[in-house]
Amino acid sequence: MVVSRGRNPSAAEIISQVVQAKGLRDRVITTLGLLLLVRLGIYIPVPGIDRVAFQSFIQKGGQLIGFLDIFTGGGLSTVGVFALGILPFINASIIIQLLTSALPQLEELQKNEGEAGRRKIAQITRFVALGWSILQSTIFALILKQYALPGLPAWQFVLQTALALVAGSMTVMWISEVITERGIGQGGSLVIFLNIVATLPRALGSTIELAQSGDRTTVGGIVVLVLVFLTTIVGIIFVQEGNRRIPIVSAKRQVGGAGLLSARQSYLPLKLNAGGVMPIIFASAVIFLPMTLASFTHSAWLARVAGYLTPNSSMPWLYALVFFLLIIGFGYFYASITATPADIATNLKRSGVAIPGVRPGSATAQYLGAVQNRLTLLGCLFLGAVAIIPSAVEGATQVRTFQGIGATSLLILVGVAIDTAKQVQTYVISQRYEGMVRQ
């Protein structure tokens, strides 16, 4: 196959590499096989549960159960061995990210210890995920206790259910790490991607049934909702790929006997949406907190507060406003802990790189901070719009077959698809240059 070094690989070249190149083919097969194993584990039932009674509880569980069920691919509603899925590992990763900016020991491991430090942080994350899965499994088993089959002691049911869920969660975490090391893409993200995609056929089937049984108004509402989702996906792609290119210039350097190397001009990319989907996940967790506490404490005033913080409440504008403000707040918070202008300015100064017209050091940090604040504001406004508009359109059209597959799910689907496609392209390009070197 004749290829060009100056362009990205075409779809035909990628398919050819997947079929012919053993390395890429093995990675793709490994990824698909392990993802299939994750799906099969969801349908291995946890024993001792009255599933008819539990299904009625799920239908009354509201948005919290539906939101979590999407990330487990229906594992919570089916009460499979992999019911918790990758959720404990995600929670552990978020906790470690937050603690890294707060604890100097973890920050030292991440910044100055290199690969060894990253491995230690990964090991700490696994232990935190184990503890988190034990906590979540125990709480879930206590909730399921009232739906246990008669004749089984309560303590035995809770113990065996919690052990099964912990084992399943740790297995999913191990599978995701194997995919990251030996497959294509980031394992944890692909597991979430698969779980979200697994809920789409059910939503599409319900939408088709509604369109066939509904009138023209219902069909028009479905068309409007689909157009909004497609427009949102296009907007997500542009924002996820959008960045501000700040020009930087490296100083002249003396290299051996080659004399002075001329100054090189390049750019420093700052992403428009540096936080990705994390601000929406944090905001969703906080806005669902009153509902979660009310379900455990049976508090009347918490239940009243939770009732207002839902899209279907008597004041949906209050839910939209609180959710929007939470997204903006967490967007700034997450941007402040992931990309620190002072650290970027220090690294540029150490490398002999400067921004034209800006003095190195504190002036560069202030300049980058101002740019980052403006980019974060634009990114957060976009995230807030993406989170609110689909829910508002669902409420206006009264088409709720896609309920749950909202902003968070769309961002994850688009982001994971883009990252995985880029990794495949990178592998194909590396194979292309290896072939040129052999020639």
For residue 1, pLDDT over 50 is answered with no
Q: Report the percentage of the chain scoring pLDDT > 90.
A: 4
pLDDT tens for each residue of 109-152: 777 777 788 888 888 889 999 998 998 888 888 877 887 777 77
For residue 45, pLDDT over 60 is answered with yes
The whole-angstrom separation of Cα 43 and Cα 121 is 32
Q: What is the pLDDT of residue 354?
A: 82
For residue 333, pLDDT over 50 is answered with yes
Model confidence band, residue 175 (pLDDT cutoffs 50, 70, 90): very high
pLDDT tens for each residue of 196-242: 888 777 777 777 777 777 666 677 777 777 787 788 788 888 877 78
The model carries a pTM of: 0.76
The whole-angstrom separation of Cα 172 and Cα 168 is 6
Amino acid at 355: I
For residue 270, pLDDT over 50 is answered with yes
Question: What is the number of other CB atoms lying within 10 angstroms of the CB of residue 173?
Answer: 25
Q: What is the pLDDT of residue 130?
A: 92
Q: What is the pLDDT of residue 2?
A: 40
| Top CATH class, 38-213 | mainly alpha
For residue 397, pLDDT over 70 is answered with no
Select the more confidently predicted residue: 175 or 395: 175
The whole-angstrom separation of Cα 282 and Cα 280 is 5
Q: Report the percentage of the chain scoring pLDDT > 70.
A: 76
Q: What is the pLDDT of residue 385?
A: 81
Q: What is the pLDDT of residue 400?
A: 61
For residue 187, pLDDT over 80 is answered with yes
**Packed helices 154-182 and 87-102: angle between N→C axes, nearest 10 degrees:** 70
pLDDT tens for each residue of 283-313: 777 777 777 666 666 677 777 777 767 666 6
CATH code that applies to domain 215-405? 1.10.3370.10
Q: Could you tell me the residue ranges of all domains in the chain?
A: 38-213, 215-405
Contact between residue 53 and residue 17 where contact means Cβ atoms under 8 Å apart? no
Model confidence band, residue 171 (pLDDT cutoffs 50, 70, 90): very high
Contact between residue 259 and residue 320 where contact means Cβ atoms under 8 Å apart? no
Long-range contacts of range 343-351, CB-CB < 8 Å, 24 or more positions apart? 343/111, 344/268, 344/368, 348/248, 348/268, 351/250
Fold agreement (38-213, 215-405): yes
